[in-house]
Structure 1
């Protein structure tokens, strides 16, 4: 739980210190990125791992 609290503090600091000072197009880019992170987390780690293993298997040689 401590790691979560530290990460939350880091994200809040990022938003407060950096994102508020960005131009409107860059604010949208940050929002899109954060939404992508939320979507990736909601798919579940097992599903992500399965997709990574599948794609890595194709790329492996010999």
Structure 2
């Protein structure tokens, strides 16, 4: 369980840049999901939530 005192609130993950701009305009914490950099985008979202990816067995 992440420490909520150290984690940021993540309001939006989106692959549309115009939606990210709108979210930021109203002070939402968001991650722009890059379809060409999926692993990096996924990790950025997890970092905002204070989570780690599940290990593959």
Q: TM-score, structure 2 length as denominator? A: 0.28
Q: Which has the higher contact order (CA 8 A, sep 6+)?
A: 2
Structure with greater helix share of residues: 1
Q: Which has the higher strand share?
A: 2
TM-score relative to the length of structure 1: 0.26
